[in-house]
Amino acid sequence: MPENRITQLVRKDKKLLIAYYMPEFPVVGATLPVLEALEESGADIVELGMPYSDPIGDGPVIQEAAHTAIRNGMTIKHLLELVRRARQGEGCRRINVPILLMGYCNPVIAYGIDAFLHDAVAAGVDGLLIPDFPPEEAADFLQKAKSCGLTVVFLVSPVTPPERIELIDSLSTDFSYCLAVNGTTGTAKLSEAASENVVDEYLKRVRQHTRKKFVVGFGIKDKSRVHSMWALADGAVVGTALLQHIGMASTPEESARLAGEFWRALR
């Protein structure tokens, strides 16, 4: 089985800049052009949301983006078809950037776990992040995903105790995902939610209890914050700010232009 793109990327000595994007937001047809723009503008990984009607870990921007995506016809089946088209270069330039799917367990269970894993691999997905799937209860899912060659990412929060950080580090395939704040996505700026010293100490604690790499997300919205996170972690994830920047676009082409403009500014 060939090594997936995320595993290859994480082996490199570079700081990662990861984009979170909700497919078919803000308009029908935006997904493939936005993927092209993000890859061309330097996204190291694209995290694609699997829209769900009750996204408990997400703030209002991503919740509304999910609802818009659902209204625009987005389903897991359609998302996997878009990933397949991106990988094959159907309707766009061939997309090679690593793709990580982020979503909640109910739609995956409804799809059928075995069928979902099979179809995700067949489409060209590289990894999965299911935030409401506790690592203590994910042994069967984790084994199946890894046997398919998929990277699996688990979450660390500022209140995760050291022994659980070590468990999450051991179970995450290539890297863990640290929530910079206790809260939903996009609802608190880091400078307001906690002092920089608190975040620094938290990420230093994570570093002491991990062997693999870890990235940081939630509340990161500009170049200066990306660089401050790079000083402490192995990567930064930007999602809400990207969605806000493209949210008023009225065509797929405008969505892609705005996405590329925003991402180049982060770099």
Say how far residue 192 (Cα) sits from the centre of its chain: 23
- In this structure, the dihedral spanned by the alpha carbons of residues 42, 47, 48 and 52, taken in order and rounded to 10 degrees, is -150
Q: What is the DSSP string of 179-224?
A: ESSSSSBTSS-HHHHS-HHHHHHHHHHHHHT-SSEEEEESS--SHH
Q: How far is CA 33 from CA 78, 86, 92, 150, 248, in A?
A: 16, 10, 7, 25, 16
Residue 134 DSSP code? -
What residues form DSSP beta bridges with 215? 177, 235
Extents of the domains making up the chain? 16-266
Q: What are the two backbone dihedrals, phi and then psi, of residue 21, each rounded to the nearest 5 degrees? A: -135, 135
> What are the 10-residue block averages of pLDDT along the chain, 267 residues in total?
89 96 98 98 98 75 94 97 98 96 94 97 97 89 95 96 97 96 52 66 97 95 95 97 98 98 96
- The pLDDT assigned to 182 comes to 62
Q: How far is CA 30 from CA 38, 66, 94, 252, in A?
A: 12, 14, 16, 4
- The pLDDT assigned to 109 comes to 94
- The pLDDT assigned to 184 comes to 47
Q: What are the two backbone dihedrals, phi and then psi, of residue 101, each rounded to the nearest 5 degrees? A: -90, 130
CB 16 within 8 A of CB 234: yes
CB 111 within 8 A of CB 76: yes
Q: Which CATH class is domain 16-266?
A: alpha beta
Sequence-distant (≥ 6) Cβ neighbours of residue 25 within 8 angstroms? 65, 68, 69, 72, 243, 246, 247, 255
- The pLDDT assigned to 187 comes to 47
Distance in angstroms (rounded) separating the CA atoms of residues 105 and 233: 27
- The pLDDT assigned to 53 comes to 77
**Position 181, amino acid:** V
- The pLDDT assigned to 219 comes to 85
- The pLDDT assigned to 181 comes to 73
Active site residues: 47, 58
